[in-house]
Amino acid sequence: MSASPVSGTEGYAAEAAALIRQYEAIPFAAVHREVLPLLPAAPARVLDVGAGSGRDAAAVAALGHAVVAVEPTAALRLAAMALHPSPRIAWVADSLPDLAGLPAGDFDLVMLTAVWMHLDAGQRHRAMPPVARLLRPGGRLVLSLRHGPVPAGRRMFEVTAEETIALAAAAGLRLLLRLDRRPGARARPDACWTRLGFEAAP
């Protein structure tokens, strides 16, 4: 009997091949252009949570950073490892809300791209403190929230910027950037994104 998917990853294994093509068709810089100024100078330690096809992990590694790429869906993780082989990327099978296998205070940047809205309210409250603890003093967290209809077979929730900012503040993170309901790199009339950036106390 196959294991149940990690909560929030429903639908991703079955659609892995199509999703990888979709993710890889959009350049890293197009997806992240609004938060690129928050990236640390190389070399730094970067954590990419929900790394998917490895597009972002590979781009960040190419900038000279050491990347830990967390992807709980084996079909995506194994394909990404083959697609983006790099000595600067370490792949980990782990997941929110706990990320229990990662050392605290180890990262200059944590990226949560199109991940946070897969967590329900209880999971979001539980997840923010562990995420914050992963950051070094002065480290940064960048995340995106999707707004719009939930694709068939997926598990997503409508998450507000206000809730996310409050959770981050309670975990000791200061808001650096808030961009509300912007179109994505592949613009869809029924979906938009909020982008947030935070910083841990130095």
Q: What is the CATH number of the domain that holds 143?
A: 3.40.50.150
pLDDT number for residue 185? 66
- The count of structural domains within the chain is 1
pLDDT number for residue 152? 81
pLDDT number for residue 186? 67
Residue 138: other Cβ atoms inside 10 A: 11
pLDDT number for residue 180? 94
What residues pair up with 163 in beta bridges, in sequence order?
none
pLDDT number for residue 1? 33
Residue 3 domain-assigned?
no
Residue 31 domain-assigned?
yes
pLDDT number for residue 195? 97
Residue 1 domain-assigned?
no
Number of Cα atoms under 13 Å in the Cβ half of residue 88: 21
Given a cut of 70, the residues of the chain with pLDDT beneath it are: 1-5, 7-12, 185-188
Ramachandran region, residue 52 (left: φ > 0; alpha: ψ -120 to 50; beta: rest): left
pLDDT number for residue 11? 58
The residue assigned the tokens 């130095």 is 202
pLDDT number for residue 2? 39
Residue 7 domain-assigned?
no
Residue 166 domain-assigned?
yes
- Name the residue range of residue 164's domain: 13-200
Residue 2 domain-assigned?
no
d(CA 165, CA 12): 28
d(CA 25, CA 136): 33
pLDDT number for residue 98? 94
Burial call 79-91: b when 16+ CB within 10 Å, e when fewer: bbbeebeeebbeb
> Considering the entire predicted model, what is its pTM?
0.91
Residue 8 domain-assigned?
no
Residue 52 domain-assigned?
yes
